[in-house]
Amino acid sequence: GESVGLHLPTLSVQEGDNSIINCAYSNSASDYFIWYKQESGKGPQFIIDIRSNMDKRQGQRVTVLLNKTVKHLSLQIAATQPGDSAVYFCAVLSGYSTLTFGKGTMLLVSP
Amino acid sequence: NAGVMQNPRHLVRRRGQEARLRCSPMKGHSHVYWYRQLPEEGLKFMVYLQKENIIDESGMPKERFSAEFPKEGPSILRIQQVVRGDSAAYFCASSPPQPATQYFGPGTRLTVL
């Protein structure tokens, strides 16, 4: 089955810096990837997704990069703000419908 | 446009009691998913349902857990004879027909005393 891992459980940055959160997956057949943000006491919030036929996708202040060769996914947040402080999960679609989540990276943004 | 709704938000049960968790999907979504999250862990898939059908229950414990999504009304995750190890946050997500992004509700935090 699919396994998803994150490289760093906690990332501390200064306000205004760029943040990069990484994720690795195991199944080379995976074709859909999502980043979620989870604030304390809340449900995961969709940030951005990418399909395997792309290697980069940009949103507002966020960019997702997909490297299928090494099965690696990253989320870049530009000009990180205190409101970006949360736990970030990558999720990979396994099979028909199942999302497999990594354990999450806690992003701490200090002013 | 209301998002995914879950209730109750917090549920306390004593060992041996039953827990019923409800989920109303986003308007226009006919697919519902349940996930469980233990403290400081990622979400673990439990079950995927469409109206009146269980599509994938590969993540459901074999005993005590059941789920339904009736033609009318919310999806229900039912846990019978709860044990302390059932204490967790349970999240529901919904999506339009596959493949599509799943949108999550706020979760139900179950505490078993």
pLDDT at A6: 63
Closest C-alpha among A10, A16, A8, A49 to residue A32: A49
Cα nearest neighbour of A9 on chain B: B40
Is there a contact between A43 and B91 if contact means CB atoms under 8 Å apart?
yes
Is there a contact between A93 and B99 if contact means CB atoms under 8 Å apart?
yes
pLDDT at B101: 84
* Token pair listed for A47: 């940030």
* Token pair listed for A79: 């000009």
- β-sheet bridge partners, residue A68: none
Task: Note whether A33 contacts B: Cβ–Cβ < 8 A.
Answer: no
Per-residue pLDDT of chain A (111 residues; tens, 9 = 90+): 667 776 678 999 999 999 999 999 988 888 899 999 999 989 999 999 999 999 999 999 999 999 999 999 999 999 999 999 999 999 998 766 788 998 889 999 998
List CB contacts of A111: < 8 A, sequence separation 6 or more: A14, A15, A82
As a three-state string, the secondary structure of B69-90 is CCCCCCEEEEECCCCHHHCEEE
pLDDT at A68: 92
In angstroms, what separates the C-alpha of A25 from chain B's closest C-alpha?
Answer: 14
Task: Note whether A96 contacts B: Cβ–Cβ < 8 A.
Answer: yes
Peptide bond into B99 cis (omega under 30): yes
Peptide bond into B70 cis (omega under 30): no
As a three-state string, the secondary structure of chain A is CCCEEECCCEEEEECCCCEEEEEEECCCCCCEEEEEEECCCCCCEEEEEEECCCCEEECCCEEEEEECCCCEEEEEECCCCHHHCEEEEEEEEECCCEEEECCCEEEEEEC
Cα nearest neighbour of B94 on chain A: A97
Is there a contact between B31 and A49 if contact means CB atoms under 8 Å apart?
no
* Token pair listed for B33: 């998913």
Give pLDDT < 50 ranges for chain B.
Answer: none
Cβ atoms within 10 A of the Cβ of A39, count?
13
Note whether B30 and B51 are within 8 A (CB): yes
